[in-house]
Chains A and B, each alone.
Chain A
């Protein structure tokens, strides 16, 4: 069965404390790996798309990487405004399959 699993479910960091979020998937014929950010009460906001193993993309303090079985979202020197739920999704059979998300809290 196609599956996307994110870990950890929740992550608390101090401001400036770098860390990584993991997204592992078991779909065949991956058509893209997507990262989204979701703030409370809002819709998911698109961050990155990765298409092939070895690909990396960066945006401010975020860097996404992709292997054949998983993706990482690295957060360097996070700030309180990076607090949100980060969702990973894989493209497969005409749709996106989402993981359950990692809720990140960054304390000042």
Chain B
């Protein structure tokens, strides 16, 4: 059974388009996250949600809008895509609120903006 799943695995789109990435976890965790991994493999947090409430928003452009319909799902919608948005996006989850709990990551979504 997949613990943290993401769809799609690959996303290729043109500048200016709007796209969404979906994430689901079946670990019963209370907190979910979105991370961005750039071409140098540097992994940086974007958002975290605890029981459907936004906890962390790391100065991400407001073109990125996370939505958590329930604590098992956290989706990421991106408006007006730009070339610089090309990266791998990872969803993760943890039992507690991030800092002292191990996080479990999904397989990633590779977004390419042309």
Q: Which residues of A contact B (CB under 8 A)?
A: 31-32, 34, 36, 38, 41-46, 49, 51, 85, 87, 89, 91-98, 100-101, 103
Contact = CB atoms under 8 A, between A and B. Distances in A.
B4 interface: yes
Interface stretch (B11-19, B66-74, B94-102): B94-102
Given A46-B105, A87-B43, 10 more contacts: A32-B99, A32-B102, A38-B41, A41-B108, A91-B99, A92-B99, A94-B56, A95-B45, A96-B98, A98-B42
Interface residues of B, number: 26
- Considering residues B33, B48, B102, which has the most beta carbons from chain A within 10 angstroms of its beta carbon? B102
B55 interface: yes
- Considering residues B33, B58, B105, B107, which has the most beta carbons from chain A within 10 angstroms of its beta carbon? B105
Interface of B: 4, 33, 40-45, 48, 55-56, 58, 90, 92, 97-108
Contacts of B99: 31-32, 91-96
B41 A94 contact: no
Nearest to A101: B41
A46 B104 contact: yes
Nearest to A49: B102
Main secondary structure on chain A at its contact with chain B?
strand
A49 B100 CA distance: 9
A100 B58 CA distance: 18
Contact of A31 (B58, B92, B100): B100
Contact of A95 (B48, B106, B108): B48
B90 A91 contact: no
20 contacts: A31-B99, A38-B41, A41-B108, A43-B90, A43-B107, A44-B43, A46-B103, A85-B41, A91-B98, A91-B100, A94-B55, A94-B56, A94-B97, A94-B98, A94-B99, A95-B33, A95-B56, A95-B58, A100-B41, A100-B42
